[in-house]
Chains A and B, each alone.
Chain A
Amino acid sequence: MARIEQEKPAFTLVEVPEDHSMDAMVLAPPPQPARRRKGDIFRPGNGPLVQFQGVIKKYDGEHRGLDGVSVNINTGEFVFLVGPSGSGKSTFIRLCIRELRPTSGSVIIGGRDLGELRRSKVPYLRRAIGCVFQDFRLLPDRTAAENVAYALQVTGHSRQEVRRSVPAILSLVGLEGKEDRLPREMSGGEQQRVSIARALVNQPRLLIADEPTGNLDPETSLGIMDLLLRINRTGTTVLVATHDQHTVDRMQMRVIRLDQGRIVRDAEGGYHEDPGDTGEIA
């Protein structure tokens, strides 16, 4: 099975005294471009990490999830995917992890056309992409540490590797000392941190978050977004679907705005920059 050969420690934690008031630690950037790992299905190369080419996704009958979307996301970017409910954000994300296949057009992740990806390879795609959801999707009968360890066991890591990586990643997301708590004993923000830790523990190149702050209060949301940003600084590409205007406005990152399955804006800035010009595609 796919096993990461790790001579180096799983995660290097570096003390950072400045700004981030909530989090004292930062991921040391892993060597980028990342070494090609065994079982890594991404093709080496400098092309965009995520590439949508004329993607149309029709659900049964005429209802369109996506209606001709073409976009590139490069390695190392931090991208917000915004738009009202039903605009196609979730469809976009589910296409990325091949929970859905496009009706036409192609979705290319890490140089791999997902339309041509054999079903048996899909698990390897998912290992290369970390996923975080609004509802956390934690296993209720397992502790924080067990939930994170699970992602490592599934990908065939040894117990030693699990023992080494899990505490490191949990302290990275700010959950030191809470390893043995069950999800129901943690706050929403803490649960989301566990789910981010789980998404990160396999060292994905792409982290996708679907409404990660949808269930959280504004202050907790900021903490989560800060964490995602720090993860992005280590070289991990981050794609966040959200309708949390406040956060998007504050972060001033690239924003792809979807409406009725089409990209109506793609620019740096806030959620509603130039609210009038919905027809413009940057």
Chain B
Amino acid sequence: MRIGMFFREALRSIRANAAISVAATVTALIAVFILGAFIPSFMYVRSAVDAQKAKVDVDVYISDNASIAQVNELKGRLDTLKTDGTISGFTYVSKDDALKIMRDRLRDPSVLDQLPSNPLPAKFNVQPAEAENANAVVAAIKDDPALDPTEGIVYPQTTADRLLTAAKFVQWAGFALIGILLVAAILLIGNTIRLSIFARRREVEVMRLVGATNWFIRWPFMIEGVICGLAGAVVAVAMLWGIKVGVVDAWASGADTALTKTGSTATTIGFPLLTLVLVGAGAVLGAVGSGITLRRFLRI
């Protein structure tokens, strides 16, 4: 009964202040649209960076002079790193394997036949659990006597560092941007709702005069905000769907082969989930926007 009344009051107000309601809806639309364009892009970039991060691995070269015992000891240390979670795994590449790989890569493998002996050292190929752990792996085994004196440990330090910096930047910049967008949207919607409250100032005054509790006053306004937020979100989602089908999917199918060739495994948020998030965001924006704005009018 009371919920029904709150809805009636909210609808009454939307009708009475049609221009303001449209303004609030359009504000929500713009905010949700920008959010809806940004979230998938951000998640795609993040996923791409993560995929690259997974490729950072460490090559631990073994000296030809190392004894079997020494190599086993090194393997033991790697096993320890694996059990404590620093690395996710490692593989042994023997001298012969290394030569075979080299042979595959060369355009003219016959040059290798000229070699008197196999110059390639054996190695452990180590995959750190996290790209950040590469340094820890190096620190743990860099003094091992079994290491090859010239090659030692090789890993793309600069690549790893740059990737990490990029990943962190993408992450924080993304969160900051989403935060700023949300705050801006809340303020915009709040401002629009404030117009509506100014228009209904007298009504709020009378409500307080006759002893309405603050929540009683708030509900119709919050429902009004939620309705505008939802309406804006639905239109924004429809527009985003159009853009996804018309532009992004078409472009992606064209670029698809190129992407798979480079082995990109980057993915992004699914559209149904995105819709859910955006519609939720629209509703929350409307409710919070009007809630915050009302606070000032409900003092005393």
Chain A positions within 8 Å of B, measured between CB atoms, are 1, 97-99, 119-120, 122-128, 131, 137-141, 150-151, 153-156, 158-159, 198, 202
Contact across chains for B206 and A123 when beta carbons are under 8 A apart? no
Which residue of the partner chain A has the closest CB to B213? A123
Contact across chains for B5 and A123 when beta carbons are under 8 A apart? no
Tell me the complex Cα distance, A153–B6, Å. Answer: 10
Within 8 A of A (CB), among B188-229: 202-203, 205-214, 216
Q: A150-B207, A159-B1, A202-B211 are in contact. List 18 more A-B contacts (CB 8 A).
A: A120-B213, A122-B300, A124-B211, A126-B209, A127-B210, A128-B211, A137-B205, A137-B206, A138-B206, A139-B206, A140-B202, A150-B206, A151-B211, A154-B210, A154-B212, A155-B212, A156-B2, A158-B1
Which residue of the partner chain B has the closest CB to A154? B212
* Contact A154/B211 with A137-B205, A139-B202 known, Cβ cut-off 8 Å: yes
Contact across chains for A123 and B211 when beta carbons are under 8 A apart? yes
Contact across chains for B214 and A123 when beta carbons are under 8 A apart? yes
Within 8 A of A (CB), among B1-57: 1-2, 5, 16
B203 partner residues in chain A, CB cutoff 8 A: 139
A164 CB to closest chain B CB, in angstroms?
Answer: 16
16 contacts between A and B (CB under 8 A): A98-B300, A120-B213, A120-B214, A123-B216, A124-B211, A125-B211, A126-B210, A127-B210, A127-B211, A137-B202, A137-B206, A150-B207, A150-B210, A151-B211, A155-B212, A158-B1
Chain B positions within 8 Å of A, measured between CB atoms, are 1-2, 5, 16, 202-203, 205-214, 216, 300
What is the predominant secondary structure among interface residues of chain B facing chain A? Answer: helix
Contact across chains for B211 and A155 when beta carbons are under 8 A apart? yes
Cross-interface CB contact of A123 among B2, B16, B208, cutoff 8 Å: B208
B5 partner residues in chain A, CB cutoff 8 A: 153
Which residue of the partner chain A has the closest CB to B299? A119
A98 CB to closest chain B CB, in angstroms?
Answer: 8
Which residue of the partner chain B has the closest CB to A137? B206
B212 partner residues in chain A, CB cutoff 8 A: 123, 154-155
